């Protein structure tokens, strides 16, 4: 959606938590600078489409008081970029920031779109951004299955646009996401016990949902390596592990894809992995969550059904037993 366009009065995009509710003062300024930062900070910037640049001055126009959400604050950038789950770079939260920035190159980067589609192709990530732009800005809740949460300001484009570009054939029922595989440069892929590469999946219907995002930036800057540069999936109504980082391949398939966590512990990490306060993880409750960066007293809050995105996604699971299909 183009933020320079007037809002349609009857529907406010669910993903668009208003900046007024979520944004520390400084971030307003940074957002306005989005393109300048995006543009100057990166060798690849020359390839960014003019549409991205044109969009940035109008960002504050998107604020609308009637969409104010109480009690939602954007997680500070330094926390979002230093408290990470990215097991390719170690199992501790502070390791990815350190280890993913020791010579691991995330540009140039090629992405392969394949499987059951009319337009399979392999292309550079910046070509893809150019094809799918303009970049949208969305503030999303993020809920890890480990019962902590953040609110993150993403920059990216609807996954549906990429699906459109690929034109899946009618027998495509799922989208499979495959992260990078580079054991020569990635210590974790040499030493730890997972079956790399990291894989995830969505149903075709989920992939078409307006909330499903391919993120290429955070806080108005290109994604940091530790957050899944140069592009990653973001599906905010699902536990964080569904949002695969540093994508190398996106395939349209008939069978439900086997995914890394689901294969490893199927009784703990389901394929759907929708955020649900009523379905506990076998080893801990999902009723509440710890807000990263909040004070000790304000730091716990109730988990929301579908992470607060019930209106936008509940219909996808109508009639489904969410305990069975967890
Ligand atoms: N390739 C890959 N993607 C991944 C992970 C991972 O270990 N490897 N961790 C997942 C988990 S558990 C979470 S909570 C989010 C964390 O994203 P963030 O570090 O940007 O907050 O990424 C998800 N995507
Ligand atoms: Mo997670």
Q: Phi/psi of residue 45, each to 5°?
A: -60, -30
pLDDT per residue as tens digits for the range 69-101:
445 889 999 999 999 999 999 999 999 999 999
Point out the ligand 1 atom lying closest to the alpha carbon of residue 83. Answer: 19
The whole-chain average pLDDT of the chain stands at 85
Q: What band does 18 get if pLDDT is binned at 50, 70 and 90?
A: low
pLDDT per residue as tens digits for the range 221-258:
999 999 999 999 999 999 999 999 999 999 999 999 99
CA–CA separation, 233 and 35 (whole Å): 21
Q: Which ligand is nearest to the CA of 219?
A: 1
Higher pLDDT, 67 or 294: 294
Domain layout of the chain by residue ranges: 74-317
pLDDT of residue 271: 98
CA–CA separation, 8 and 62 (whole Å): 11
| Domain over 74-317 is classified CATH 3.90.420.10 | yes
Helix axes 159-166, 125-132, angle to 10 degrees: 100
Rounded to the nearest whole angstrom, what is the distance from the C-alpha of residue 144 to the centroid of ligand 2? 4
Per the CB < 8 A criterion, the answer to whether 187 and 268 are in contact is no
| pLDDT above 90 as % of the chain | 75
Q: Look at 61-75, 124-138, 140-154 and tell me which has the smallest mean pLDDT.
A: 61-75
Does the CB atom of residue 87 touch ligand 1 within 6 A? yes
Point out the ligand 1 atom lying closest to the alpha carbon of residue 218. Answer: 20
pTM for the full predicted model: 0.85
pLDDT of residue 34: 46
């Amino acid at each position: 959606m183009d933020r320079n366009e007037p809002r349609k009065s009857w529907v406010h995009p669910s993903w668009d938590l208003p900046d007024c509710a979520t944004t520390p003062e400084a971030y307003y300024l940074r957002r306005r600078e989005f393109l300048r930062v995006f543009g100057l900070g990166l060798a690849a910037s020359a390839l960014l489409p003019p549409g991205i640049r044109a969009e940035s001055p109008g960002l504050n126009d998107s604020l609308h008081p009637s969409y104010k959400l109480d009690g939602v604050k954007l997680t500070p950038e330094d926390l979002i970029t230093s408290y990470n789950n990215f097991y390719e770079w170690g199992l501790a939260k502070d390791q990815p920031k350190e280890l993913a920035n020791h010579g691991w190159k995330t540009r140039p980067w090629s992405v392969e779109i394949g499987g059951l589609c009319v337009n399979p192709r392999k292309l550079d990530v910046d070509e893809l951004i150019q094809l799918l732009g303009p970049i949208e800005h969305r503030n999303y809740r993020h809920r890890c299955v480990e019962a902590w949460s953040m609110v993150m300001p993403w920059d990216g484009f609807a996954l549906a646009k990429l699906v459109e570009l690929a034109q899946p054939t009618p027998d495509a029922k799922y989208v499979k996401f495959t992260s990078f595989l580079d054991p020569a440069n990635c210590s974790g892929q040499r030493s730890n016990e997972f079956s790399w590469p990291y894989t995830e999946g969505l149903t075709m219907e989920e992939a078409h949902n307006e909330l499903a995002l391919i993120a290429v930036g955070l806080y108005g800057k290109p994604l940091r390596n530790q957050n899944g540069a140069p592009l990653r999936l973001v599906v905010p109504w699902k536990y964080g592990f569904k949002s695969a980082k540093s994508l190398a391949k996106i395939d349209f398939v008939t069978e439900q894809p086997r995914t890394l966590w689901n294969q490893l512990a199927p009784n703990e990490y389901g394929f759907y992995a929708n955020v649900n306060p009523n379905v506990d993880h076998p080893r801990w409750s999902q009723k509440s969550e710890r807000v990263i960066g909040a004070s000790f007293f304000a730091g716990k809050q109730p988990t929301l059904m579908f992470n607060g995105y019930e209106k936008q996604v509940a219909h996808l699971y109508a009639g489904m037993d969410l305990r069975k299909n967890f």
